[in-house]
Structure 1
Amino acid sequence: MAHYFTNDIVKDAPEEITIHFRDFTYKLNSNAGVFSKDKLDEGTRILLETVLDNQSEPVSCLDLGCGIGPIALILMEYWKYTEMTMIDVNQRACQLADSNMKKYRRKAKIICQSGINEGQYACILLNPPIRTGKAMIYSLFDQCMEHLATDGHFWIVMRKQHGAQSAINYLQEKGYEVEKVARDKGYWVMKISR
C-alpha cells in the first residue's frame, strides 16, 4: 500500500482539483500517491484559517509536509513579502507543488527531503503525518523547534483523537510555550513558541 509520506511508486493518475478558500479559487495539479489528492484536507483548512487570523506576516515561512502546495499557495495570497520554503519527502508531491507554484506565478524554495536540514524560519506550519507514528512526528516537532527563529511561531494542527493533548504535553515538557488557539471539528490548532 502506498503512503503519501513515502516515495512508493504508484500508478500515475493525474487530475486537476478545485480548491475554494475564502475569496479565492484554485485549480491545482494533483495525482495518486499524494496527501489529500482530491480536496483541501479539513485539518489543513482549519490550520490556514487560524494562522491567517492570528499570525502577522512573517519574514520567512516553512510549509513542512507541503504536499501539492495548497498551504504555501494560499498564504502567499495574503503574505506578499514572505520568503516561502516548502519541504516534502514525496517526490511526486514536490513536482506537483512546483507546477502549482508556477501556474500561479508564485516563487518558493521547494526541497524534496525527509525533515529539515537547514535554515531558520519565523513561521513553520505542520499538519503532521499521523500514520508515521509518534516517534517520527515528535522528531519533526524537535526539528521544527531547532529551526524556528528566536521569536518565531510553530503551528500544528492535530485531531484530539490522534494525540493532540499528548503532543502538547511533549512540547511543554521540552520547555516550550504552547497555546491552543483554535478547536474546530475535532481538530486543535496549537501555536508553539520558545
Structure 2
Amino acid sequence: MSHYFDSPAEPLDLNLVRTVDCQIWDETLTFRTAAGVFSGTRLDPGTSVLLKESAPPTGALRVADVGCGFGPIAVALARVAPEALVDAVDVNDRALQLTRLNADSLGVGDRVRALRPDEVDPTTRYDQIWSNPPIRIGKPALHELLLTWLPRLAPAGEARLVVGRNLGADSLQRWIGEQRVDGVRFACERAASAKGFRVLSVRLLP
C-alpha cells in the first residue's frame, strides 16, 4: 500500500513545503504541497481529467471531496461556487493540514472543512461528491469506501469519480450499477473519457 494512505509520523516541516501551480477551470491556483501525500509534486493527471471534463458547479451546494490530498478539488470547488460548503475528507493528517493551509491562502478557509472520515456527520447528504478514489488500496477497501459515501448523495445529487481505464474503470462502473445499500440503488454512466481515464457519473435511482 502506498505511503500516502497513512499519516506520516513526522510533523509537517513548513520549510520543506513546495508550491505547485494548477490550471483549474479559468484560474491558475498555487497550492502548497509536500512529500507524504498523494501526488505531492503536481496535480495528478486523473484529477486534471476529472476537472477538465466536468462543468464547474454553481449554487449553494453541499459538496464532499473524498480523498482530498493537498486540496486541489475541494479548494477549486469552493472558489468557483462561492456559496458552496465543501467537506474535504482524507485519512492522511498531513493532507488535511495542507488542505487547510491552501484553503486559507486561497480565501476559502471559511467554507472548506478538512476532516478525517470519522469526523464527518454520517447523516449529511451531499449535492455533489467528487473523488479521485484510491484504487490501489485494493477492491475490498475501495468497495467499502464507495458504499460508505455514495449513499450519502442527496436524492438529486451526483458523484463524479475518475478512474484509470487500465485500473478497472469499466468493471467498477458495472459493479457500482449492481449495488444496493439499504434499498438504495445507483445509476453509473461514463460521462467522459480522456488520456486513459474514465469520468464516471453516479446518481441515486428512485
Shared fold per TM-score greater than 0.5: yes
Partner of 2:149: 144
1:28 to 2:34 alignment: no
Partner of 1:180: 190
| In structure 2, distance between residues paired with 1:121 and 1:18 | 29
Q: Do the aligned residues in 2 keep the contact of 1:154 with 1:191 (CA within 8 Å)?
A: yes
1:113 to 2:92 alignment: no
Aligned counterpart for 1:160 among listed residues 149, 162, 165: 165
Opposite residue 62 of structure 1, the aligned amino acid is A
| In structure 2, distance between residues paired with 1:150 and 1:143 | 16
Q: If the length of structure 1 is used for normalisation, what is the TM-score?
A: 0.91
Q: Structure 1 residues 147 and 96, CA, compared in 2 at 3 Å: closer, same or farther?
A: same
Aligned counterpart for 2:77 among listed residues 75, 78, 83: 75
| SS at 1:123 equivalent | strand
Q: Give CA deviations for 1:109-142 in whole Å, capped at 9, x if unaligned.
A: 1112369652111100111112211111111111
- Once the two structures are superposed, the pairs formed by residues 86-125 of structure 1 within 5 Å of their partners are 86-106=88-108, 107=110, 108-113=112-117, 118=122, 119-125=124-130
Opposite residue 61 of structure 2, the aligned amino acid is V
| In structure 1, distance between residues paired with 2:104 and 2:8 | 25
Structure 1 window deviating more from structure 2 (157-166 vs 113-122): it is 113-122
Q: Give CA deviations for 1:78-102 in whole Å, capped at 9, x if unaligned.
A: 2121111111100000000000000
Q: Do the aligned residues in 2 keep the contact of 1:17 with 1:39 (CA within 8 Å)?
A: yes
| In structure 2, distance between residues paired with 1:64 and 1:116 | 11
Partner of 1:18: 21
Aligned counterpart for 2:174 among listed residues 169, 174, 191: 169
Opposite residue 82 of structure 1, the aligned amino acid is A
Number of equivalenced pairs: 193
Partner of 2:202: 192
| In structure 2, distance between residues paired with 1:133 and 1:145 | 18
| In structure 2, distance between residues paired with 1:74 and 1:56 | 12
| In structure 2, distance between residues paired with 1:115 and 1:188 | 30
| In structure 2, distance between residues paired with 1:22 and 1:80 | 15
Opposite residue 20 of structure 1, the aligned amino acid is Q
Opposite residue 49 of structure 1, the aligned amino acid is K
- Give unmatched runs, 5+ long, in structure 1: none
Q: If the length of structure 2 is used for normalisation, what is the TM-score?
A: 0.86
Q: Give CA deviations for 1:2-33 in whole Å, capped at 9, x if unaligned.
A: 61111232685321222222431222111110
1:164 Cα offset (Å): 0.7
Q: Do the aligned residues in 2 keep the contact of 1:2 with 1:9 (CA within 8 Å)?
A: no
Partner of 2:47: 44
